[in-house]
Amino acid sequence: MARFGVLGPLAVEGAPGHWVTLRGDRQRTLLAVLLLNANQHVHVDVLVEALWPERPPKSYASNLHTYLSRLRERIDGLRVEYGPLGYRLCVEPHELDLLVFRAAVADGQRAGDAVAASKHYRRALAQWRGPVLAGLHVPRLDADVARLESERLAVFEDCVDAELTAGRHGELTGELQAMITEHPLRERLAAQLMIALHRAGRQGDSLEIYRRLRTTLIEELGVEPGAEARRVHAAVLRGEDPVPRLPPPIWPVCQLPPDIADFTGRDAELAELTGVLGRDTGVPVAVLSGEPGAGKSTLAVRAAHRLRARFPDGQLYVPLGRAVGEVLADLLRALGVPGPAVPDDVRARAAVFRGRLADRRVLVVLDDAVDPEHVRALLPGTPGCAVLVTSRQRLSGLAGAHRLALGPLSDDEAAELLNRLAGARVTRERADAGRIIAACARLPLALRIAGSRLAIRPHLRLGELADRLEDEVRRLDELTVSDLAVRSSIALSHEGLRPPARRAFGLLGRCRLVDLPSWAVTTLIGTPDADEAVEELVEASLLEARGPDATGEGRYRMHDLVRLYAAEGPAVEGGSSTVLAATLALAGAAAARLPRTVPMPAVAHSPLPQPLPDALVSRLLERPEDWFAAERANLVRLIGSLGAREALLLLDKLSVYLYLHGHYADLRAAYETVLAAADDRATAVLAEANLALLRHARGQYFEAASAYRACAKELEASGDRLTHAWVAANLAHCLIGLGRAEEALQTAAEARELFTVDGQREAHLVRAAESAALLRLGRVAEAHEVDELALAAARATGDPRRIGMALHGFAWSSLLTGSDAEAASAIAESVELLRATVARSALAKSLRTLGAISAATGARSRATAAFSEARSLARELDERPRELSCTRAIAASWIGEGRAREAIPVLRECLAELRSMGGRSATGLTLLVLSRACEAAGDSAGALEAAAEAEELADPRDASAAALRRALVALTEPA
């Protein structure tokens, strides 16, 4: 392919050393226009105007085609394309001197030092052979020619700047004097000549150049010299060098702040950062983001110090938050580039920065970045370097970066940090320290402030500071010491938000839920741009986005201190009432799809309207247990913000799920909240009755029975027979636990009457209480009859859960009637049916009975497996009496295995708890097993003492206890 020249006379070189001659001016003009616009489309009108400046001929199109054909004939391989936008001459960068010139200039601007830059600039200037298109005058190209001449002059000046910086002034004087003669008004040239003369020891000649420049400017333009020329003139007058010579860079350059001595935790994060930044491939970039106060900068400094050996040429530390041009200027000066040699253009500065780091091993730490574009301008260009960025933003637009989101400290890390800051009293006052840690949300900044306050005031009790911090109204005020403040840290992130995101921030801050599903977030914000606002909050680390929950909804969480800051802002109109209505309706619908295992009646209420679309509701409640699991913490917290009656209604729905899964602690806290807020006795009695039920489940029989009786008295007076019936049935079971079988049977009869007086079907709970009481009274046949009726009624419903529960009672009374095979078959069917349901408490009960029946009928291994599984379930459900009875059975099996000494302490622990619960039968059975253990261990006295007490507690009528004795004794026999 030919080579072309336009920087001087138009030239075309075919084969090397062979110059092509173009005969006609119009051929030369056409080629010149295309070359000055190489690789760009040139419209036909432009070409016509260039070829025929005055008036084109009518046949201009065919003439233009002819000229192009002749050019192709004369120039071998000429590539001219034609399309809708015009003609385009295609050339490679090395085939046209103008493109070679511009490529060399770009290399000079990117060069890392003045010496290298000057070499590139000289290579660029060497492309010029004279004026552009010398000998060919094309009026249409006058502006292009003038622009190129100006470009050449600017490059010459850049070259001179670089060579002056490098100390090469001697050979420049003559060249500059010639250029000044040609451009007498060019102030930059004059300033450069003044510098060169001054360095050559010709101070007077240098001052004369300034005098002539000033005279010329005043006479021809009426203006004084500009600031740069005056600066150089003043420096020459003082005898100073206006452009200090470029010192060689001094490596390594370490700008890291000191690593703090009390840095705590973050081992996993440190390992991840050092692993990413220590890679040998490319330029690794790690972005460390997180909410305000998470300790991003501190962690970055710690990681950078650990990596110093990996980056022997240095570590640059750049606090951002200002113009990237200023940052680059500071970096270049730190890398040895003197002020006057720092380019004016930001892109040129970035190029010099990359050049300075070329072939070096340097870690660049960019602290508190706000914009991916700023980070891109500060990235090194060659392998060996690495970049660590901290930001409140996620910097999602930064491609290829490794992102690490920094959350709060772990509980142990938070305690260690507080201990380092405040001393040993943190360990001594551990409970109050835990309260401080919780109030600080385990954020390092908040903990550092709290620890510093304790260190400043050694006599300040941790409990006193914890009390202040637990007051949400004043918490952010308390988290301030010296120049550290949590509020100001969050404010920096908040100030960068756009108005829609600020509004969303305020709405989410006033929503006091733990976390929110995505539907609730968009409903709460209630505007078309809700998604964009949420994304901005997540990007700013003011809102945490979590993965989808079991219903498929993404979750969003605002950490406590951020939420407190958001709640301080003015109230904002939003969709909170819609979210509340939808949540209450969802809870009702979800509860209706689960089996109600709570032995209390549902609270009567009118159907709740649902504002959400049907399709969304169907998806959310496809598996109601999953919805309750996802929203459990929110619903418990919401109860505390509602009125007592509304809270009771919500809790009644939530209790269906909580009771089913044994979340008794949540139930207890929620009902205590309702009780404290109740302003009428009807609501209070319902709360008290449910709290009695929870005490009952925990084995607190005395307290539960007393509470049941008090509630029954008030319910009888108010005429609430249905609730009274359920309370009476529960009281009957509680009395059985206390060993009061006659009273339990009478109470069960009262419950039956209360159920049937209004035409209500009696609960299975009543039949179960009657059967259990009859068995304790030795009336086995009557109990078995009750259980047969209960099983028949359950089978009529077709409900596996009800059938499984009825089979449990039938199996146990069958064993007591001597029908071992029938008992074993019934309890096996019960367990099989209940395994397929969500009724884990009923399953645990049937498994325990399976263990007892198996032990009594000689199936030892099956018995111990059933007892172990039942104990695990009871432990998960916090059903302590059942857990203890299973533990007693397992300890009995140890005796048979020759492990009596291991069984004794376990049995004594069970005995102590069962005594406190008041269960005579359970206590007596445990004493019986303990006596067998002591006897096997050789402790005759202990065995006799336990056996005697067991005999005192035994009731000869109690058929259930007798069957259990049979099972437990069988387990104690040698395996």
pLDDT of residue 804: 93
What is the percent of the chain where pLDDT is above 70?
98
pLDDT of residue 47: 85
Q: How far is CA 531 from CA 501, 534, 536, 589, in A?
A: 10, 5, 9, 28
pTM to 2 decimals? 0.63
User: What confidence tens digit (pLDDT) does each residue in 571-625 have?
Assistant: 888 888 899 999 999 999 999 999 888 889 888 888 889 999 999 999 999 999 9
Poorest-pLDDT segment among 249-263, 387-401, 626-640, 893-907: 249-263
Q: What is the mean pLDDT of residues 523-546?
A: 89
**Given CA atoms 463, 468, 471, 472 in this order, what sign does their dihedral have?**
negative
Q: Are 704 and 716 in contact (CB under 8 A)?
A: no
pLDDT of residue 68: 86
pLDDT of residue 569: 82
Beta bridge partners of 405: 289
Poorest-pLDDT segment among 332-341, 342-351, 828-837: 332-341
Query: Strand 80-83 to strand 480-481: parallel, antiparallel, or no bridges (unpaired)?
Result: unpaired
pLDDT of residue 188: 87
**CA atoms of 79 and 69, how far apart (whole Å):** 11
User: What confidence tens digit (pLDDT) does each residue in 222-260 have?
Assistant: 888 888 888 888 888 888 877 655 555 567 888 899 988
Closest CA to 708 of 680, 676, 740: 740
Q: Are 694 and 734 in contact (CB under 8 A)?
A: no
**CA atoms of 762 and 662, how far apart (whole Å):** 24
Q: DSSP 3-state assignment of 363?
A: strand
Q: What is the mean pLDDT of residues 829-840?
A: 91
pLDDT of residue 248: 55
Confidence of residue 859 (pLDDT cuts 50, 70, 90): very high
Q: At what angle do helices 44-51 and 25-36 cross, to 10 degrees?
A: 140
Closest CA to 559 of 923, 252, 291: 291
pLDDT of residue 852: 93
Output 593 or 919, whichever has higher pLDDT.
593
pLDDT of residue 167: 75
Q: Where are the alpha helices (DSSP H) in 593-699?
A: 614-620, 624-639, 644-660, 664-677, 681-697
Please give the distance of CA 798 from its chain centroid, rounded to a whole number. 47
**CA atoms of 504 and 296, how far apart (whole Å):** 25
pLDDT of residue 758: 61
User: What confidence tens digit (pLDDT) does each residue in 138-174 have?
Assistant: 888 888 888 899 889 988 988 888 888 877 777 788 8
Output 228 or 312, whichever has higher pLDDT.
312
User: What confidence tens digit (pLDDT) does each residue in 316-336 have?
Assistant: 999 887 888 888 988 888 887
| Residue 429 structure tokens | 């006052």
pLDDT of 865 higher than 90: yes
Question: Is 847 buried (19+), middle (13-18) or exposed (0-12) by CB count in 10 A?
Answer: buried
Q: What is the mean pLDDT of residues 657-667?
A: 88
pLDDT of residue 307: 93
| Residue 111 structure tokens | 């060069």
Spatial CB neighbours of 377, under 8 Å, sequence gap ≥ 6 = 324, 328, 346, 347, 350
Output 52 or 627, whichever has higher pLDDT.
627
What is the percent of the chain where pLDDT is above 90?
37
Q: Are 386 and 363 in contact (CB under 8 A)?
A: yes
pLDDT of residue 661: 84
Q: What is the mean pLDDT of residues 729-735?
A: 92
User: What confidence tens digit (pLDDT) does each residue in 447-456 have?
Assistant: 889 888 888 8
pLDDT of residue 589: 93
Mean pLDDT of the chain: 88
